[in-house]
Amino acid sequence: MAFNFIRTAVALAGLGLAATPALAESHGGFMPQNPECIAPANPGGGWDFTCRQVGKSLQDQGLIDSTMQVVNLAGGGGGVAFAEVVNKRGDENDLIVAASSATATRLAQGAFPGNSMDQVRWLASIGADYGVIAVAADSEVQTLPELLDQIKADPTSVSVAGGSAVGGWDHLKVLIAADAYGIDDVRSVKYIAFDGGGEAVTQLLAGSVQAFTGDISEAKGFVDSGDIRVIAVLAPERLPGDFADLPTAREQGVDAVGANWRGFYGPAGMSDEAYNGWVEKIATLYASDEWKEIMANNGLAPLDLQGAEFEAFVANSVKQIQDISREIGIIK
């Protein structure tokens, strides 16, 4: 919420620590003087995490000299921040903004009035959070096809809970799976929107709903404790490490993949030097062992895309979401 007046607050409180003057120039090329990351949501969410974690790691590794200032600019599901960057801060070099599949979803569905993806420059991804579909540990359902069969037979008997609004990414993931399984009228799938994945999992444990759709990072704690059972990971192949036991949707004959990627964009007027500088910094960070450990701890799967490659990936993802949304009647 309150990061943009941090300097004032810090000065008032007499704690000149966060504003440590930049150390002597230590790297060649682009070095942001006042690096700033906009998290387009209140503290606590995924975007906030993206900004903070990347900011902290960039500084730890000496890729930026001064502390990354994280600004929480909530509103309109990221739309306020997007409009701010496009309209007011279009030529800043020190600014990056956290983004994810949710950003692409809203851009695809025209939920940022008057904005489109080519009004900003897409920098790089830092990993992906693959979607999961899970049931409570004591549920009779063991596999994804079993769940989808139940939905096919009687859509009203299964409530699926997720952390995003109707038409949001959590909702679309379960629709992608239903669509891939051959459920004709995907609109009949009963989706219940909660305020965040944590609340949705809690309601799964409480028995109010029968299934959960969300990101693997949201489910991890409950999988470890044995409270919920992941019946499908929406990844192209099994994930490494702790998650290797979890079956993919694909190996159960449901060709559904849904990744919530996380990454950054910058203002359209950013100089090429700055653009390349940021791309290179994030790429260096991504390649580091420290980042691999952070990814492993948080259930982030590899998604290593930078610069033009990332831009093309986002464009493709926007188009794919537009197609599904049109099919289910969210957009015309």
**Rule CB under 8 A: which of 260-289 touch another protein?**
none
Amino acid letter for position 202: T
Residue 192 as a binder of another protein (CB under 8 A): the answer is: yes
Residue 179 as a binder of another protein (CB under 8 A): the answer is: no
Residue 52 as a binder of another protein (CB under 8 A): the answer is: yes
**What would the two tokens of residue 94 be?**
């020190």
Nearest CA to 231 out of 132, 131, 128, 129 is that of 132
Write a three-state SS string for 143-183: CHHHHHHHHHHCHHHCEEEECCCCCCHHHHHHHHHHHHCCC
Inter-residue contact 218 to 198 (CB < 8 Å): yes
The one among 138, 199, 255, 327 contacting another protein by CB under 8 A: 199
Rounded to a whole number of angstroms, the minimum distance from the CB of residue 317 to another protein is: 19
What is the CB neighbour count within 10 angstroms for residue 9? 13
**Interaction residues for another protein, span 68-87 (CB under 8 A):** 69-77, 79-80, 83-84
Alpha carbon distance 205, 157 (integer Å): 17
Alpha carbon distance 274, 127 (integer Å): 22
Q: What values do phi and psi take at 97, rounded to 5?
A: -130, 135
Binding mask 15-34 for another protein (x = CB under 8 A): x-xx-x--------------
The one among 8, 25, 245, 289 contacting another protein by CB under 8 A: 8
Select 137 or 315, whichever has its Cβ closest to another protein: 137
Rounded to a whole number of angstroms, the minimum distance from the CB of residue 208 to another protein is: 4
**Total residues at interface with another protein (CB under 8 A):** 72
The one among 201, 249, 274, 295 contacting another protein by CB under 8 A: 201
Alpha carbon distance 125, 303 (integer Å): 7
Rounded to a whole number of angstroms, the minimum distance from the CB of residue 103 to another protein is: 14
152: left (phi over 0), alpha (psi -120 to 50) or beta: alpha
- Give the range of 94-102, 161-169, 242-250, 254-262 binding another protein by CB under 8 A: 161-169
Binding mask 231-260 for another protein (x = CB under 8 A): ------------------------------
Rounded to a whole number of angstroms, the minimum distance from the CB of residue 307 to another protein is: 26
Select 110 or 236, whichever has its Cβ closest to another protein: 110
- Give the range of 121-129, 239-247, 271-279, 293-301 binding another protein by CB under 8 A: 293-301
The one among 169, 212, 222, 310 contacting another protein by CB under 8 A: 222
Residue 166 as a binder of another protein (CB under 8 A): the answer is: yes
Is the sign of the CA dihedral 148, 150, 156, 162 positive or negative?
A: negative
Alpha carbon distance 219, 201 (integer Å): 7
